[in-house]
Structure 1
Amino acid sequence: MKEKKINLITLFLITISSFLLIYILIYILNYYSNNGILLSYPSEFNYQNKLLTPNEIGDSIGGILNPIIGFTAAILTFLAFYMQYEANKDQRSIYFKNIRREDNDKVEEHRVNLRIFKNLVISMLDFYNSSGESIKKFVDEEIQSPLSMNIPKFTTNNSYEIFKSLDFKQIYASVVYNFKNSEDDWEEEFIEVLVILDFYEKLIADIKENFKIQNQKKYSLIAEVGDNINLQMNDIFPNDIVNNLDGLIDYMAIIYNKNPDNTSVIPDAEFSFPDINKLYSIFFPKFITALLAEYRKNDENQNEYKRFLDIFNHYYKKLGGEKAQAENYARDLSENYFLYFADNTNVNKILEFLAKIIYYERNMDNTDC
């Protein structure tokens, strides 16, 4: 409605000015034409039939047209100023529209930055929670079967790498903008959130690295013991002195899943690999005890019993040391789990800060950048 009104005013002024200019032009043409001034030297007579001079003719035309010309000039001057006024007003309108557009763009930029921040933090929290569950499951398996090759199933997550690549000046500016009307001491909470996220990322990285070292060491020792025991069995089974001792049937059942009649202990489809825990807890104690008993009562083959007794004692102690180390590792890992994963204090701090961001973000459209 306002633009239509301005157009009507401008159109009205132009119409009046055009009408007056046409009127002046027609008046001059008619005056000059009727008095033969256009094609010849001007001549005119007054009411006394006296020849007038050109100056008097000019005074006659000027006296009639000057007021009209002056009024027309005034309208045109006003029109010029009015159109300049309208142009300035349009420029101001465009300028403030651009300012508002920039403000809206800035608000949207803050929203996008905060959305990225929130989504990455939530993704990292999901990763930390799933890592905690994996650690808890691994600890339970490791304590129950310390000589098994238990492996924590850590999920992969690149959220922290993306998080570190963000422009934190922009993120911080968006957080500042979000809390500009808040009286909360949000800066300390924001820094604490960043510290917690960094701590958990490094904690999980350390756990993975330590597990890798522990797992490689355990695998090497078990492989070494397994290979050496297999070599010893190549001497034991053909040896009539020791091939009937207690524990060897258990060895066949544990390592090969076979009973004395060559039937399977459990269905072969269910047997994946030997249980070293049973080898340690069943075979070694029985076989070493049997060797020791024969060594004490049998003087004739005492050296043979002593040789095997030393060998199997050595590897039994090796497995025992690895078992103790695996249990200690599991207990230490369990402490970390209960301190940093089972306890939701740190996670709740992060969630509370995100909740504050969401709360104050609702007022973002009502504030100025």
Structure 2
Amino acid sequence: MKQLKRLFLRVKMFFYNNTIIAIAVIIFLFGALIAFTLPIFLTSIEYLGMTAPNEIGDAFGGATNPVIGLIGVGVTFLAFYIQYKATEKQREDLKEQQRYNQYKYLQEAIKDVKDDIKDLRFTKDQVTYTYSEAIWNFMMDNLQHGMAEQQILSPLYYQLEYILTLFEPIIAEVENSDLSKKEKFQMLMNIDGLFESSLAFILRVYDRSVVEGKEKMFRESVKYKIIIPAKKIKQELRETLDRYREPEKDIFHRVVMRIKGAAFVRHTRMIGKKGIVIFYKDYETYKLENPEGNITQERFDAFFADQDNAEKIIINEPIRLLMKLDFLEKVAFQLYLKDYT
């Protein structure tokens, strides 16, 4: 009996997930039912007086031809519909494959730039520096000897000039891709992280020179080919990231829904830099807003009756939120307990 019940459930789920097949089976069964029952029905009516085989055949053919034609139309429609769905699925698969290829291509492009930066070398006083140290020492050396235009530029200068030209096309390709907003933001964050860990040292040395009043010490070629392009890239990254950045209130809500007792949170709110978390006041309100919620009244009452548990949430969770979300300055939790709020 259990096996039959299990089989029935499997068949039910199969037809539930395959609507077209279910419709086709229904049409077939309907046609078969008419084909087998109509002759019996016609011969059972004495008023029609059908006894001869040819009379029954003519009556059966005349009665079933419209039904068969209708079934044929339905089956033809199903065939076209199945073809349409298959084409649509193929189109979606192709689009997904294109999106995946774009994602892999952009990842490879960022990796290639990262490898180029890792290969940077700068030698000074018989000491060879690599990666970000090479950039820092190159800029510091130009700050000290920049006015000597006749001095031969280091090969690192030409490498940096080339690498800086790679960022803007990659940023543009990310924006024009078919990736989701979240994927674009993550990709841009990877580019920004790469820039900040390496090429941002160009701007840090320059900013330092501005503070010290030595910005004019840089030779013109370094200023126009290295410093200005680096500034432009940083500005473009900031503006592009802002377009895809998730709103702070959404980030706050998403993180709050992972804290202890999140199931009892009614809603969250952001007022400036202050985050507010409001819990349900009573079980009736919870069920009214969550009719399909699986929290029982006993569990609800037990959670809010345990003041030690509530105090731990009020003390620990705001600290975690403040540590995790740097845009928060204050966090307020509003819990309704028996003796106090």
TM over 0.5: no
In the superposition, the TM-score normalised over structure 1's length comes to 0.33
Instruction: Name which one, 1 or 2, has greater alpha-carbon Rg.
Output: 1
> Per residue, is there more strand in 1 or in 2?
2
Higher relative contact order (CA 8 A, sep 6+): 1
Q: TM-score with structure 2 length normalisation?
A: 0.35
